[in-house]
């Protein structure tokens, strides 16, 4: 800052020499002389200078040189120039092209050098956009902040919430909602609802390094959470996490957090909320006021800037919203099943001992090997049970998998009723029905060597004497007992002698 006012005070009010003034103000003696000469030329003395500011004194002594012109030139629309440069930066729009369009509209307008000078002078006053330039529709900055609490009526406990924020880089258009945590389901759900609120998707998502977004933080190659990467791929977005401990990488959302606290949390601080839905309803009302409020510098609201700048350059939303899915690593067991959420799902038997990527949604389970889907099942919530696709089984296992009690009984029924009843009794007599499968297979095998009549007669004899087994049936057929007439009496049976102490059946009637 020039010390003109102090020089004039010391000279005219204190009467100090120019040498002493130079020593006191720590400036050159020639500079003191130059100031005094210009003051005399401008007719500026001390009493008058005392009432002026330093800027006013400097304007009197060093007036800006203006070239007189008899033509009044139309001034360029600097706000339009600024908006065009931001919106069409990706096609390398330059000032010279905008100047050519300006000259086409106003032939008597300023030349290129003065056109650029006027624009740069106007742009230098826009302090809110000097630090970082953002392309229209390119980046959406995302972050969490501490939110308000909700009251749990049954317990009287205050449950803290998190405030989710998403801010567009070019227009500052904002989305906010309250979640119960920063866990993966809340993180993915909040971003899906944010994109639905915007009605479009950005080209780049810029999150913080929370675990729901970045599995392993790194300055150069961060490892994204598989679910978050899957969601970004579904919407066609790239993910560029901010560097660890570099808040300037996401300055937009950091400022957005401060603004949200002032225009949302501060407004709602005295209200009591009893559910997350009630809190988010109040947040949505405050959010609408925030997005429709005109900005001081731009003279337009965030929504208007978003519609004119960001939206034309954004990506359309897919027809189907993203379905939340979790990803796991699973090793294929020797029984060609993988364990996911305490349930077992089959995969092709050729993949035994390999590690697969598993995608689990609310309705489906999908297994991938090197990006290729190898199996898909409807999700089951029954723990400890198996879901098996017969096509995944080896050929020698498929026949066994088709065995069932009903099928064995149907097979036996083709021979006859007695054989069917014998098979049914064998299966029901075992602690586990599978233990009777081999006996039933043996009985069916016997049918290849004996006629159905003999099989039926042997089965009748086995049922009568309760010798229901494959070995017993085979022994009856081998000995030819099925051909003997069964009178129901033993040939060597002796009759009981008559005695007064022996009671007959008439006694019990």
What does R_g of the chain's alpha carbons equal in angstroms?
A: 45
- pLDDT of res. 503: 64
How many Å apart are CA 497 and CA 509, to the nearest integer?
21
Count Cα atoms within 13 angstroms, Cβ side, for 383: 2
Torsion of CA 382, 383, 389, 395, to 10 degrees: -140
How many Å apart are CA 87 and CA 465, to the nearest integer?
95
| 377 close to 356: Cβ distance less than 8 angstroms | no
pLDDT at 130 over 90: no
How does residue 250 score in pLDDT terms, banded at 50, 70 and 90? low
**H or E stretch including 286?**
helix 276-292
- pLDDT of res. 129: 40
As a whole-number percent, the residues of the chain with pLDDT over 70 amount to 85
Q: What's the CA angle centered on 467, arms 464 and 468, to 5 degrees? A: 100
Helix axes 405-413, 437-446, angle to 10 degrees: 20
pLDDT at 264 over 70: yes
How many Å apart are CA 440 and CA 409, to the nearest integer?
9
How many Å apart are CA 394 and CA 401, to the nearest integer?
10
| Tens of pLDDT, residues 66-100 | 555 556 788 899 989 988 887 777 677 889 999 99
Q: What's the CA angle centered on 77, arms 75 and 80, to 5 degrees? A: 170
- pLDDT of res. 145: 87
- pLDDT of res. 260: 86
- Backbone torsion region of residue 488, taken as left when φ is above 0, otherwise alpha when ψ lies between -120 and 50, otherwise beta: left
| Tens of pLDDT, residues 480-494 | 888 876 655 544 444
Sorted by where each begins, the domain ranges of the chain are: 4-61, 78-125, 139-313, 326-395, 403-483
Q: What's the CA angle centered on 366, arms 206 and 188, to 5 degrees? A: 25
Q: What is the number of other CB atoms lying within 10 angstroms of the CB of residue 321?
A: 13
DSSP labels for 328-354? EEEE--TTSEEEETTEEEE--GGGTT-
pLDDT at 281 over 70: yes
How does residue 509 score in pLDDT terms, banded at 50, 70 and 90? low
| 325 close to 363: Cβ distance less than 8 angstroms | no
pLDDT at 452 over 80: yes
DSSP labels for 365-423? EEEEETTEEEEEEE----TT-EE--GGGS-HHHHHHHT--HHHHHHHHHTT-HHHHHHH
Q: What's the CA angle centered on 473, arms 472 and 479, to 5 degrees? A: 85
| Tens of pLDDT, residues 46-57 | 888 888 887 788
**H or E stretch including 252?**
helix 251-260
How many Å apart are CA 7 and CA 2, to the nearest integer?
10
- pLDDT of res. 254: 75
How many Å apart are CA 382 and CA 50, to the nearest integer?
90
| Tens of pLDDT, residues 145-195 | 889 999 988 888 999 999 999 999 888 899 999 999 988 889 899 999 999
pLDDT at 438 over 80: no
What pairing do the DSSP bridges indicate for beta strands 386-387 and 343-346?
Answer: parallel
Count Cα atoms within 13 angstroms, Cβ side, for 371: 1
How many Å apart are CA 222 and CA 238, to the nearest integer?
13
- pLDDT of res. 90: 66
Mean pLDDT of 463-472: 88
Residue 286, burial from CB neighbour count under 10 angstroms (0-12, 13-18, 19+): middle
- pLDDT of res. 507: 62
Residues in the chain: 509
What CATH topology corresponds to 139-313? Nucleotidyltransferase; domain 5 (3.30.420)
- pLDDT of res. 490: 47
Residue 266 is classified by DSSP as T
| Tens of pLDDT, residues 301-355 | 999 999 988 899 899 999 998 888 888 888 988 878 899 888 889 999 888 889 9
Cβ contacts of 57 within 8 Å, gap of 6 or more: 4, 5, 8, 44, 49
- Percentages helix, strand, coil for the chain (3-state, rounded to 5) are 45, 15, 40
| Tens of pLDDT, residues 374-433 | 999 998 888 888 888 888 888 766 666 666 788 888 888 888 889 999 988 888 887 766
- pLDDT of res. 493: 47
Cβ contacts of 12 within 8 Å, gap of 6 or more: 45, 46
As a whole-number percent, the residues of the chain with pLDDT over 90 amount to 22
Beta-sheet strand order (sheet of 343-346): 337-340, 343-346, 386-387
DSSP labels for 293-329? SBPTTTSSBHHHHIIIIIGGGSBPPPSSPPPP-EEEE
- pLDDT of res. 285: 93
Look up the pTM and report it. Answer: 0.52
- pLDDT of res. 336: 85
How many Å apart are CA 464 and CA 365, to the nearest integer?
52
């Amino acid at each position: 800052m020039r010390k003109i006012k102090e020089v004039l005070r010391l000279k005219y009010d204190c009467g100090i020499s120019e040498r002493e003034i130079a020593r006191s103000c720590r400036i050159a003696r020639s500079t003191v002389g130059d100031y005094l000469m210009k003051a005399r030329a401008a007719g500026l003395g001390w009493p008058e200078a005392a009432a002026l500011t330093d800027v006013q004194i400097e304007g009197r002594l060093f007036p800006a040189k203006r070239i007189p012109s008899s033509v009044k030139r139309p001034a360029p629309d600097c706000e339009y120039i600024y908006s065009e440069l931001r919106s069409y930066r990706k096609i390398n729009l330059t000032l010279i092209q905008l100047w050519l369009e300006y000259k086409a509209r106003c032939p008597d307008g300023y030349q290129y050098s003065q056109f650029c000078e006027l624009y740069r002078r106007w742009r230098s006053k826009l302090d809110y956009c000097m630090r970082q330039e953002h392309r229209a529709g390119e980046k959406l900055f995302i972050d969490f902040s501490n939110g308000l609490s909700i009251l749990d009526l049954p317990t009287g406990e205050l449950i803290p919430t998190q405030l989710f924020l998403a801010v567009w880089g070019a227009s500052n258009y904002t989305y906010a909602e309250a979640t119960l945590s920063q866990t993966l389901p809340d993180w993915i759900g909040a971003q899906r609802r944010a994109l639905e609120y915007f009605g479009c998707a950005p080209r780049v998502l810029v999150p913080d390094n929370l675990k729901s977004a970045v599995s392993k933080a790194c300055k150069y190659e961060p490892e994204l959470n598989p679910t978050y990467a899957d969601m970004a791929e579904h919407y066609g977005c790239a993910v560029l996490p901010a560097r660890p401990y570099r808040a300037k990488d996401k300055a937009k959302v950091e400022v957005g957090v401060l603004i949200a606290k002032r225009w949302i949390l501060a407004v709602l601080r005295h209200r009591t909320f009893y559910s997350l839905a009630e809190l988010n309803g109040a947040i949505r009302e405050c959010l609408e006021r925030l997005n429709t409020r005109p900005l001081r510098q731009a003279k337009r609201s965030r929504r208007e800037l978003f519609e004119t700048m960001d939206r034309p350059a954004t990506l359309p939303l897919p027809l189907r919203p993203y379905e939340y899915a979790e990803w796991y690593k699973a090793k294929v067991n020797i029984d060609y099943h993988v364990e996911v959420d305490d349930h077992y799902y089959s995969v092709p038997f050729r993949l035994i001992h390999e590690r697969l990527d598993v995608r689990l949604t609310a309705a489906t389970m999908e297994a991938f090997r090197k990006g290729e889907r190898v199996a898909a099942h409807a999700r089951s919530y029954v723990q400890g049970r198996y879901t098996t696709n017969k096509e995944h089984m080896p050929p020698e296992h498929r026949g066994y998998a088709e065995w069932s009690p009903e099928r064995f009984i149907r097979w036996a029924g083709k021979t006859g009723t007695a054989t069917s009843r014998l098979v049914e009794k064998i299966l029901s007599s075992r602690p586990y029905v599978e233990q009777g499968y081999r006996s039933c297979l043996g009985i069916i095998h016997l049918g290849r060597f004996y006629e159905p009549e003999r099989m039926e007669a042997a089965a009748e004899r086995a049922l009568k004497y309760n010798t229901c087994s494959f070995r017993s049936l085979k022994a009856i057929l081998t000995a030819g007992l099925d051909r003997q007439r069964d009178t129901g009496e033993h040939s060597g049976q002796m009759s009981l002698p008559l005695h007064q102490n022996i009671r007959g059946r008439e006694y019990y009637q």
